[in-house]
Amino acid sequence: MHQCINCGATLKAGQNRCDVCGAETPYHKTQRVCMNCGAPAAQNVKICMMCEQPIDALPRRASSFSASWLGILIGLAVVGGIVYGFLQLEAPQALGSASSSPPATATPFFIPPTDTPTPTVTPTLPPTPTLSPTPTPTPKPLIHSIKTGETLNFIARKYNVSLEDIEQANNITQDTILQVGQELVIPFATDIDTNGENSREHPIILYTVKSGDTLSGIAFEYDTSVSAIEVANPGLDLDILSVGQEVLVPLRPPTFTPTPTITPTPTFTPRPPFLTPVLLHPQDDALIEGDTSSVLLNWTSSGTLDEDTYYVIYLSDNAGRFKTFPTRATSYRLPPELRPSQLSTCSWYVVVMKKIGIDAEDIFYGKALSNPSQTRTFRWR
């Protein structure tokens, strides 16, 4: 089937005249179509009747007859190319088969190597080390450095040794004036605990053993170690405690405790029953003078005190005098008879304690219920 080249009507196969316009249409002629919309167009028409666009110089569509011949020519060209390529591929292989010949066999020329004897290495043994005897360390005596306010009785009670032993070891008497920084030999005492800390540098309290007490329980209650208690009591057998037995317990000095880090498993840390007192007045290294001068000591409250609980003031001066003043108030005025005749530097600190007793030298001793406050000094004359 094809179309009329004049009006574009569809013609039957082999029909040469259009039934619509009567124009002759040769079979081999081509039919013009609009390149914009694809509608059939007459040979002399310049504007498409369907899309009203110009169709001058539009290519003519080949008839089915001419298209079939073009396909045949393309097919023959493809077949010829395949055959030519196959022939070109077979020619080098045939040429290589004809010119190939067996390679010459090379006769190897081999000279066996001459064996060279390998020297034998004789190992040299290292010399046997000579063991030297381990020297036995020589025990060192315990040396105590005098601090402000300390007396011979206080030092003897601290290390649980007799006053006569200290006097004999240092060739002194009870009337000897001790100087701050002076070193005394303490006989029958041990100096080092397992934590590597020197227990004599810590405040010491006198603890009375109660029913059910153990040495580890006492150490845990006062935040110290068993070895430190043993060092402070060299003359006592602490394996078995008796009710009413008195034991010296060294306290740890107050330290800054950082804010604890929260962990998945929090650890309980025991704390003293009372807050640590904070000293308020006088200021550190203050000068107090005059014939009618008096010293008023003042500090912060640590909480509500029980009937037998006191704030205990520890006061000492550079002349070696040492005093304790228990009070239930948060201030204390020093007695005027304590005013020195010449300029003297005094040191003081406060700790909350449960009263146990007062010794022969009028020194208060008891169970500490708080950490000691910081130490301050003032000059008085």
User: pLDDT tens digits, residue range 284-328?
Assistant: 998 888 766 678 899 999 989 888 999 999 998 887 888 899 999
When pLDDT is averaged across residues 104-127 and rounded to a whole number, the result is 55
Domain membership of residue 306 (yes or no) is yes
Q: CA 157, 158, 164: angle at the middle one, nearest 5?
A: 45
Residue 87 predicted with pLDDT over 70: yes
Least confident of 18-32, 69-83, 291-305: 18-32
Point out the domain boundary residue: 208, 231, 250.
Answer: 250
For residue 253, what pLDDT is reported?
59
- Are residues 368 and 294 located together in one domain of the fold? yes
How many domains does the structure of the chain reveal?
2
Is residue 122 very low, low, confident or very high in pLDDT (cuts 50, 70, 90)?
A: low
Least confident of 200-204, 279-283, 338-342, 349-353: 200-204
For residue 259, what pLDDT is reported?
63
- CATH assignment at residue 364: 2.60.40.10
CA distances from 201 to 192, 195, 227, 349, 376 (A): 11, 13, 15, 16, 17
- Are residues 298 and 365 located together in one domain of the fold? yes
Domain membership of residue 136 (yes or no) is no
- Are residues 283 and 232 located together in one domain of the fold? no
Closest-CA residue to 350 (of 281, 293, 288, 287): 281
Is residue 136 very low, low, confident or very high in pLDDT (cuts 50, 70, 90)?
A: very low
Domain membership of residue 97 (yes or no) is no
For residue 328, what pLDDT is reported?
92
Distance CA(198)–CA(221), nearest Å, equals: 20
- Are residues 246 and 288 located together in one domain of the fold? no
How many other CB atoms are found less than 10 A from the CB of residue 23?
A: 15
Domain membership of residue 45 (yes or no) is no
Sign of CA dihedral 209, 215, 216, 219: positive
Q: Provide the residue range defining the domain that includes 219.
A: 142-250
- Are residues 245 and 286 located together in one domain of the fold? no
- Are residues 242 and 305 located together in one domain of the fold? no
- Are residues 292 and 238 located together in one domain of the fold? no
- Are residues 158 and 224 located together in one domain of the fold? yes
